[in-house]
Structure formats: structure tokens, C-alpha cells
Amino acid sequence: MTDVADVILRLGAATLIGAAIGLNRDLHGKPIGVRTLGLVGLASAIAVLAVAPGGGEGVRSVEATSRVIQGVLTGIGFLGAGVIVRRSIGKQVHGLTSAACAWTTACLGLVCGLAAWPIVATGVVLVFVLLIFGGPFERMCQRWLAHFREAEEPEAEANTEASAQRTDVQS
């Protein structure tokens, strides 16, 4: 059986990680925030601890833990679907990153519940690298691509004009 301090550590870590990811979403004005993702992390850890309090040893415990993980990951899809919005104007989709954050937070909560701390630490670092630097990196790539396309346009226009002149001469 897991002692009280270990349970507090696992549940607390899952809650704090979810809240930190939620704070990032909230600061960016997204439809999911500190409380929602804190609860996602906490609930995921609780679900795993309920069936595998000692970390999932034993065949029955591994099977039960596997079923809980499958259920959590399936269920979190409904929450994620609730934050995805498709606008009819411009056919734009919004909320995909927030939905992915809900799913990732659930995964991190599950891993906290299993006390797989190296996976938790690596996952948290990678989540925040993506959330902090992913947007600026995307914008930089889009500017570079736009600049590249602008550089190609004069060549395309020149080729079109030359082709039009050839057609006029042949006519």
C-alpha cells in the first residue's frame, strides 16, 4: 500500500503540472485554464491510484491499470472536443492546442499516479518548450516561407509575361 506522503506527492504533482499548463493556456486567452487542467491532472492521477496504489505491480493490477488508462484517455477526448471550435468564416479551427493540452495533462496525471518520475519530468519540460517556443517558431517559419514565396513571384510573373509574348508573336 502507498503511504500518505507518496499519495500527496503523486496527486499534488499531477495537480500542479496541470495547473501550470492551464496557466499557460489562460495567459494566452484560451478556452481552458488553471482549474480545468489542474483537475484533469488530478483526476487522472486519482484514477490510476485507485486501481494501482503501489505503482501497478502484479498481473491483475497491471490489467486494471491498463483499463483505467484506456478509459481516461478515451474520456478526455470529450473534454478536448469541447474546446475545439470550427468557424464557418474562413474555415478556421481554433482550440486544437488547448485540446492537446487537456490530453497531455491527462497523460502526465496518469504518469504521476504511477510515480514514473523520469517520464513526468521529461514530459513537463517538453510540454513547456513546445508551449513557450512553438508559437514563435511557427511564426518565424511562416515569415520565412512568405519571404521565400515573394522572392519566387517575380520569376513566375516574368515567365508568364514571356509566355504571353510568345503566344502573341505566334498568333
Counting residues of the chain whose pLDDT is more than 90, the rounded percentage is 54
141 vs 2, higher pLDDT: 141
Angle at 38 between CA 77 and CA 87, to 5 degrees: 45
Counting residues of the chain whose pLDDT is more than 70, the rounded percentage is 82
Burial of 119 (0-12, 13-18, 19+ CB in 10 A): middle
Where do we find the cell 497523460? 107
Does the pLDDT of residue 106 top 70, yes or no? yes
Verdict on whether the full-model pTM lies above 0.75 = yes
**Share of the chain residues as helix, strand and coil, in percent rounded to the nearest 5:** 80, 0, 15
Question: What is the pLDDT of the chain when averaged over all its residues?
Answer: 85
Q: What is the pLDDT of residues 48-102, one digit of tens each?
A: 998 876 655 555 678 888 899 999 988 888 888 888 877 777 677 888 899 999 9
Return the domain boundaries, the chain. Answer: 4-128
